[in-house]
């Protein structure tokens, strides 16, 4: 059994951590938090130069051709550093959709641009409140033009292209949904930025008015592709969440060691110790579930749907738990804008609902376990 990342993958993790520690300190995250920039462009270029944007993109499409395990270790570091860049939307959603369903021409057009940092992509799935479901998709596609509204679209205001889920039938089945690729710079799309609890990652509303679009994948395959994309993204976002959980735990631990009250470090009080021990427990459970998700993702195993849901749930819980209790351990200082704790709290609660909320994934997990059991 070798249920661990290889030495090379761990070296890549170290390289990513070193790079992000240098190029993405909390000060850089705050530039975007405070609204001085929509994302960290310099960091984005740097990530491209390091080869991180295209790490899982095959060499023939301009990537590094490494694989998804490598992408997982980078995702963890991105989450740890709260990198304020459209990494998840571009790399986990848009690139994965292209890899899964894109035509050779579509891949040739967009994947090299993703790897080089020239193109930002996203997935336009949601239409207001609610979780992923084919019934909720109303945006219509006919004759290669789209009409409808998508919201929220992650990084929609800065994206160059979007994969759009559209309704192409009305039979009430999954086959009513098809995917389209839209060049957002080509007109026909109105973009409105939306405020959200984590300003370090933008959200937008995209209104499509007779917008020209090309199909991505076969007509009627949309929902099946989306399900696969969401599962893959669930594993990758879970690694970001695990990275964030670990960092929040470390911040809490460090503060508990430094801060003196009643003549002793607050970390010597059991009430504080036990909070931190419980944070460690949730972070460890999440990490182990994520490793299994990484294995399933990298081998395209039939266990992926179940593994992805478990990783997603476990990591969401861990990040919410660790980020809120990091504030608690910090006391009043943890509730100031000046301390970084709230940035993790914001990110944790924002990532808890992207890709669909915890309740949704809980439901999915049991559905999938039940199917496996029946099989």
Nearer to other proteins, 211 or 272 (CB): 272
221 lies in the binding site for other proteins (CB under 8 A): no
281 lies in the binding site for other proteins (CB under 8 A): yes
* Window 186-205: residues binding other proteins (CB under 8 A): 194-198, 203
Give CA–CA dist 61/258, Å, rounded.
49
133 lies in the binding site for other proteins (CB under 8 A): yes
Q: Which stretch binds other proteins (CB under 8 A): 39-47, 105-113, 209-217, 350-358?
A: 350-358
10 lies in the binding site for other proteins (CB under 8 A): no
- Closest distance to other proteins from the beta carbon of 106 (Å): 25
284 lies in the binding site for other proteins (CB under 8 A): yes
Give CA–CA dist 146/124, Å, rounded.
12
Give CA–CA dist 127/162, Å, rounded.
14
170 lies in the binding site for other proteins (CB under 8 A): no
**Contact pick of 41, 173, 370, 371 for other proteins (by CB under 8 A):** 370
* Window 34-93: residues binding other proteins (CB under 8 A): 69
* Window 226-265: residues binding other proteins (CB under 8 A): 249, 253, 256-265
Nearer to other proteins, 10 or 209 (CB): 10
Q: Which helix (H) or strand (E) holds 140?
A: strand 140-142
Give CA–CA dist 296/3, Å, rounded.
11
Q: If DSSP codes are grouped into helix, strand and coil, which group holds residue 198?
A: coil
Q: Which helix (H) or strand (E) holds 193?
A: strand 189-194
User: How many Cβ atoms sit within 10 Å of the Cβ of residue 94?
Assistant: 29
- Closest distance to other proteins from the beta carbon of 68 (Å): 10
- Closest distance to other proteins from the beta carbon of 265 (Å): 4
Strands 145-154 and 140-142: antiparallel
6-14 long-range contacts, CB within 8 A, separation 24+: 6/69, 9/69, 9/70, 9/73, 10/73, 12/66, 12/70, 12/73, 12/74, 13/73, 13/74, 13/76, 13/77
Nearer to other proteins, 171 or 195 (CB): 195
Distance of CA 299 to the CA centre of its chain: 20
**CB-based contact 222:166 (threshold 8 Å):** yes
Number of residues that bind other proteins (CB under 8 A): 106
For residue 114, how many C-alpha atoms fall within 13 Å in the half-sphere facing its CB? 36
**Contact pick of 232, 291, 305, 319 for other proteins (by CB under 8 A):** 291
8 lies in the binding site for other proteins (CB under 8 A): no
The binding track of 292-311 with respect to other proteins, each residue x by CB under 8 A or -, is: x-xx--xx---------xx-
**Contact pick of 161, 319, 320, 322 for other proteins (by CB under 8 A):** 320
């Amino acid at each position: 059994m070798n249920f661990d990342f290889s030495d090379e993958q761990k070296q890549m993790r170290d390289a990513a951590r070193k790079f992000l520690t240098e190029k993405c300190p909390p000060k850089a995250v705050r530039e975007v938090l405070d609204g001085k920039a929509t994302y960290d462009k310099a960091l984005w270029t740097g990530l491209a130069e390091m080869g991180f944007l295209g790490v899982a993109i095959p060499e023939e499409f301009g990537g590094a051709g490494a694989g998804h395990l490598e992408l997982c270790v980078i995702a963890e570091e991105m989450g740890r550093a709260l990198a304020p860049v459209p990494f998840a939307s571009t790399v986990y959603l848009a690139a994965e959709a292209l890899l899964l369903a894109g035509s050779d021409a579509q891949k040739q057009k967009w994947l090299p641009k993703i790897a080089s940092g020239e193109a930002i992509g996203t997935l336009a799935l949601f239409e207001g409140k609610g979780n992923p479901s084919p019934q909720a998709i109303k945006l219509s596609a006919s004759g290669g033009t789209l009409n409808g509204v998508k919201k929220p679209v992650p990084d929609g205001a800065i994206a160059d292209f979007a994969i759009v889920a559209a309704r192409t039938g009305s039979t009430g089945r999954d086959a009513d949904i098809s995917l389209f690729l839209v060049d957002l710079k080509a007109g026909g799309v109105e973009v409105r930025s939306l405020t959200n609890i984590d300003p370090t990652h933008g959200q937008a509303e995209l209104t499509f008015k007779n917008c020209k679009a090309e199909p991505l994948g076969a007509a009627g395959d949309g929902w099946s592709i989306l399900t696969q994309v969401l599962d893959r993204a669930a594993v990758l976002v879970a690694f970001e969440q695990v990275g964030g959980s670990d960092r929040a735990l470390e911040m809490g631990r460090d503060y508990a060691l430094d801060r003196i009250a009643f003549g002793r470090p607050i970390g010597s009080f059991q009430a504080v110790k036990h909070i931190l021990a419980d944070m460690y427990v949730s972070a460890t459970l999440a990490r182990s579930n994520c490793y299994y998700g990484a294995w399933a993702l990298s081998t395209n195993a039939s266990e992926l749907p179940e593994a992805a849901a478990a990783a997603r749930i476990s990591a969401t819980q861990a990040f919410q738990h660790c980020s809120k209790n990091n504030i608690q351990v910090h006391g009043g200082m943890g509730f100031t804008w000046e301390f970084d704790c709230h940035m993790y709290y914001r990110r944790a609660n924002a990532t808890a609902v992207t890709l669909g909320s915890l309740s949704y994934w809980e439901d999915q997990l049991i559905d999938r376990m039940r199917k496996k059991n029946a099989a």
